[in-house]
Amino acid sequence: MLVTPRYTGHYCENACENFTSDLLLNLSRDNMLFIDIGAHYVYYTVLVGTRHPDCNIIAFEPVPENFDILKRNVALNKLKNTELHNVAVSNSDGLRKFNVTEASDSCGFYEHPLTQTSKVRSNS
């Protein structure tokens, strides 16, 4: 899986990620629908898609730079039944400002207290 160097330790050594990964693998099945909102580099999509190749997956990632890596990870892992969307997901319709931060995993509709906003997109 492709990740920037900043995230190598996060995906390989983080105990929380291990717990969540195990939980997700125990709950996922073939022929189910898995929706990955805020997919970042599609770690969970790759995890479910490689374990359950007949699972239908829809992944949403609003940040174009993350979305480019996301698409490469889907292709690299030869995932099928995967639908990708370069948009933000919210509980309401309409356009809102979306903060793209220096830390690619901290972007969102609200400013993040631990990282600086590098740009604001108004079309997400």
Given a cut of 50, the residues of the chain with pLDDT beneath it are: 124
In DSSP terms, which residues pair with 37 in a beta bridge? 60
Place of tokens 């717990």: 19
Amino acid at 65: E
**Count of other CB atoms within 10 angstroms of residue 43:** 21
Rg (CA), the chain: 15
Which domains, from first to last, does the chain contain? 30-121 (3.40.50.150)
pLDDT in tens, 32-60: 999 999 998 899 999 999 999 999 999 99
DSSP character at residue 90: -
Nearest one of 110, 105, 58 to 81, comparing CA atoms? 58
Q: Tell me what pLDDT residue 124 has.
A: 43
Q: Tell me what pLDDT residue 101 has.
A: 66
Distance of CA 75 to the CA centre of its chain: 15
Angle at 94 between CA 34 and CA 60, to 5 degrees: 25
How far is 81 from 110, CA to CA, in rounded Å?
32
